[in-house]
Chains A and B, each alone.
Chain A
Amino acid sequence: AQSVAQPEDQVNVAEGNPLTVKCTYSVSGNPYLFWYVQYPNRGLQFLLKYITGDNLVKGSYGFEAEFNKSQTSFHLKKPSALVSDSALYFCAVRDGRDSSYKLIFGSGTRLLVRP
């Protein structure tokens, strides 16, 4: 069965410091991996995705994520955090087999960037 784990409920970081939000996954076929961000009272906004190719994926707002097949991880990173990055972040996975379309989401990680 497919699953996603975000082991940290909350991540705290000072503005200007690098940030990492962790995600590990389990899927039968090749994984399609996604990161979404949710600001208060708003829907999910797409940040980036990994389908195939380069393990380092660059996305919106300076975020990037690294796919690590051996560790089944897809951690979200940013070199220098901004206070405006404070939000709820969701990792999601889809099985890469042709017939698959369901996204399986992690429980979310709240990122708090302090000034």
Chain B
Amino acid sequence: GAGVSQSPSNKVTEKGKDVELRCDPISGHTALYWYRQRLGQGLEFLIYFQGNSAPDKSGLPSDRFSAERTGESVSTLTIQRTQQEDSAVYLCASSRATQETQYFGPGTRLLVL
């Protein structure tokens, strides 16, 4: 079956611009996660969605970052007024339920000039 998909695959933007990243989870997966991977580092948790519960936003690095999810489908991660330190790969994952294995998308590589 189809895996997690993300778009765009690459995004180059100028400092100060807003960007929107999209994630389509595996169909039927109720839990969705966003992570950030900086160059040469492991993944940092950003935000978690589970059904209609309030999302866990505890990993968002600043108030410039926000995310939404429509029901149990698409999620968008928005970064406002991008900074150079936002340059990273943003990975989305989904799981069938909260404690099930997380399956990752290919990521969006963001470069802020």
Contact = CB atoms under 8 A, between A and B. Distances in A.
A101 B35 CA distance: 13
Contacts of A46: 101-104
A34 to B, nearest CB: 7
Interface string A49-66: 100000000000000000
A106 B45 contact: no
Contacts of A104: 45
B62 interface: no
A45 interface: yes
Contacts of B101: 34, 46, 49
B78 to A, nearest CB: 20
**For chain A, what secondary structure do more than half of its interface residues adopt (helix, strand, loop), or is it mixed?**
strand
- Among B56, B91, B99, B103, which residue has the most Cβ atoms of chain A within 10 A? B99
A43 interface: yes
Interface of B: 4, 6, 31, 33, 35, 40-45, 48, 50, 56, 59, 91, 93, 98-99, 101-107
Given A90-B42, A92-B43, A103-B33, 4 more contacts: A42-B106, A43-B107, A46-B101, A102-B59
Interface of A: 4, 32, 34, 36, 41-46, 49, 90, 92, 94, 98, 100-108
22 contacts: A41-B106, A42-B106, A42-B107, A43-B104, A43-B106, A43-B107, A44-B91, A46-B102, A49-B101, A90-B43, A92-B43, A94-B99, A101-B31, A101-B50, A102-B45, A103-B33, A103-B102, A105-B43, A105-B44, A106-B42, A107-B40, A107-B42
